[in-house]
Amino acid sequence: MVLSHQLRICRPRLTRLDTKARPASIASSVSSATTSMSSDSLPIMTDLMPHPADISTKTPPPQINNLSSDMEETLGLQDLELMMHWCTTTYRSMARDHAAEVLWQTVIPRLSLRSPSLRHGLLALSALHVAGTTASPERKWRYLAAAREHQSQALLGINVDGTQEFTDSQCDAHFALCGVLMVFSFAYCLIDDDMEDEERPNILDEFLEVFQLTRWLVSAMVMTLERVTSGELYSLVRPDETRPRMPNMSRLVISSLQRQNETEALRDSNHEKETYNETILHLSNSLEQLMNGGEPKDFAFCWCFHIPVRYPELVAERTPFALVILAHYAVVLHHLRDSWWMGDWGTRLLKEIVDELEPEWRELIAWPADAMGWFLPEE
């Protein structure tokens, strides 16, 4: 598979995340937690026994919970807490069925024992999950900081230049890491809400950053897909036929977009018809899977990878027809709304698109609005 030069060379930027300062205390804690996995740093049982000279009948033994701050840092207590949270709670949000739950709860954490990047990825998403569910601002800030630091460490393990030398377990770990980091980006933009209104990124602009980061991660993911399909994580990628079907409106919706594309090409010689044709084709695949009862977690992010590189640029330029197509894709995201890491991204996108479009264009997004239960404002 041929990847664009941009995808191979650098990770796309996510402004909200990349501009955050890294607190020194968090950085040192995460660093020590990483190095503490070395067997050289672990005490043996005889090291924990008191020497005879240290024993006094007059001095009571220290309380077991009176650990020094240095000892707490070495033990990585926050990381232990986060891994426990992953294995009891967060893992469920990544799984589509029981078979996948088993993988995310037990197999993938086991893989992380040999993959520091995957371990950081699991801890990052777990920290973000805790941050999003706590009522304490101080606690939320602390876990957001931990999430950012773990995510920055996890990103170091992403390889988009080739995985030919990977072992099967390394391929599985790499695949799982990409999946975790994809949902992390969507979730972080929802949970990190401690910003003044004038500092908040525009929703469309921020989505495009997440979009490009997702595209980059999927490009890394597909390099291991063939080996994952024949390995231990097969349940994550096997076709799912267990969900009920919905009325299939996708063909009518896609036909309408294709006709509009033809109309716009006749109106404007600069209209980029072929770019839109290819984008609509891949949207058709996503909507058809959705209408046929497919699990959105399986295909929602594939669209970002397959569409032409030019299309996100047209969205960034606020080209009306590009926004119309994006509103239809938002329906796919809306069907992930019960996942805490996706939330209301679909409706947020739709509302922003409505604000950008002139009244004559809004009638073209009537179906997405109806599918999301949202009423278009009257002209």
Per-residue pLDDT in tens (0 to 9) along the chain, 379 residues: 334 333 444 667 677 777 664 444 444 444 444 433 333 333 332 232 333 344 344 444 333 344 445 544 544 888 999 999 999 999 999 998 899 999 999 999 999 999 999 999 999 999 999 999 999 999 999 999 999 999 999 999 998 777 778 999 999 999 999 999 999 999 999 998 765 656 678 999 999 999 999 999 999 999 999 899 988 999 898 876 656 565 668 889 999 999 999 999 999 999 999 999 999 999 999 999 998 888 899 889 999 999 999 999 999 999 999 999 999 999 999 999 999 999 999 999 999 999 999 999 999 999 999 999 988 776 6
Residue 11 lies in a domain: no
Domain that holds residue 317: 250-371
Residues 204 and 326 in one domain: no
Residue 282 lies in a domain: yes
Burial degree of 61 (CB within 10 A; 0-12, 13-18, 19+)? exposed
Residue 40 lies in a domain: no
Residues 201 and 94 in one domain: yes
Residues 344 and 310 in one domain: yes
pLDDT, residue 247, reads 64
Residues 123 and 219 in one domain: yes
Last residue of some domain: 192, 213, 238? Answer: 238
Going by C-alpha positions, the residue among 333, 358, 365 that lies closest to residue 347 is 333
Residues 255 and 113 in one domain: no
Q: Could you give the number of structural domains in the chain?
A: 2
| Contact partners, residue 368, CB within 8 Å, separation at least 6 | 327, 328, 330, 331, 350
Residue 179 lies in a domain: yes
Residue 34 lies in a domain: no
Last residue of some domain: 238, 258, 288? Answer: 238
Residue 273 lies in a domain: yes
Residue 344 lies in a domain: yes
Residues 162 and 300 in one domain: no
Full DSSP string of 286-306: HHHHHHTT--HHHHTTHHHHH
Q: Under a CB-based contact definition with an 8 Å cutoff, are residues 71 and 89 in contact?
A: no
Compute the radius of gyration of the chain from its Cα atoms.
24
Residues 318 and 366 in one domain: yes
| Contact partners, residue 363, CB within 8 Å, separation at least 6 | none
Residues 161 and 223 in one domain: yes
Residues 205 and 279 in one domain: no
DSSP 8-state secondary structure symbol assigned to residue 275: H
Residues 256 and 221 in one domain: no
Last residue of some domain: 238, 271, 295? Answer: 238
Residues 291 and 340 in one domain: yes
Residue 305 lies in a domain: yes
Residues 196 and 233 in one domain: yes
Burial degree of 222 (CB within 10 A; 0-12, 13-18, 19+)? middle
